[in-house]
Amino acid sequence: MNRRTFVKSSLAASAALAGPAALSASIPSSEAEEPFKMKFATHLGMFKEHTGGDPVLHLEFIHDKGFRAFEDNGMKDREEGVQRKMGKLMEQLGIEMGVFVAHKIYWNEPNLANGDKNLREEFLYHINESVEVAKRVNARWMTVVPGHLDLRQEIGYQTAHVVESLKQASAILEPHGLTMVLEPLNFYNHPGLFLTKAAQAYQICQAVDSPACKIL
């Protein structure tokens, strides 16, 4: 190990024992770097060696490094006070908020695909909550994953159920100028999910026919 690597590792290890604030302070300060021309969005955990798990330190750090965009799948589950603090800081720093996950995702059982009215109401309740989250953090987009397949129904019926849920969600989002983006997920890493192809998402968006429903 060369001297530079050893010193850097020693500083990081020592600061980690004292917490994120000390960890950040241990990194030599420098002038803020030139912003990237493209909006590369970071997320928490990308720079944990410098900021720990503190979202505020993360935002300050990425701003200094030239990033002007941020996404946070778990934003909806953060405390309201934390959301407001992050939203205010992003506004001050000129950082654009990207996507956050709008609802509870059913990874192992169907919810939107099976047409269950109670599960649809739960989904719409979460969409309403996410409208308020978006206001706090100045977000315009939120991620929607329609959940697991219903293995007891033909795919056509499942698609109709999903489309109806998304139409109702779009009616909630449209007045606020917000957009949900459908995320197709590959079958290898996420086996059993309803939405797996971009073409399938396109078909659903065409059926929903709303500016509030697009593809991630």
Q: What is the CATH number of the domain that holds 193?
A: 3.20.20.150
Whether pLDDT at 79 is above 80? yes
Residues 117 and 214 in one domain: yes
Range of the domain at 182: 103-216
Residues 138 and 184 in one domain: yes
Question: For residue 114, what are the contacts with CB-CB under 8 A and spacing of at least 6?
Answer: 150, 152, 153, 158, 161
N-terminal to C-terminal alpha carbon distance within the chain: 43
Report the distance separating Cα 15 and Cα 184, nearest Å: 40
**31-59 pLDDT tens trace:** 678 999 899 999 988 998 888 889 999 99
Domain C-terminal end among 76, 100, 124: 100
Residues 180 and 199 in one domain: yes
Mean pLDDT of the chain: 89
Residues 32 and 139 in one domain: no
Answer left, alpha or beta for residue 15, where phi above 0 means left and psi between -120 and 50 means alpha: alpha
Q: What is the pLDDT of residue 158?
A: 99
Whether pLDDT at 5 is above 60? no
Whether pLDDT at 3 is above 50? no
pTM: 0.83
Q: What is the pLDDT of residue 31?
A: 61
**91-108 pLDDT tens trace:** 999 999 999 999 999 999
Report the distance separating Cα 142 and Cα 115, nearest Å: 22
Q: What is the pLDDT of residue 22?
A: 47
Whether pLDDT at 123 is above 50? yes
Residues 138 and 202 in one domain: yes
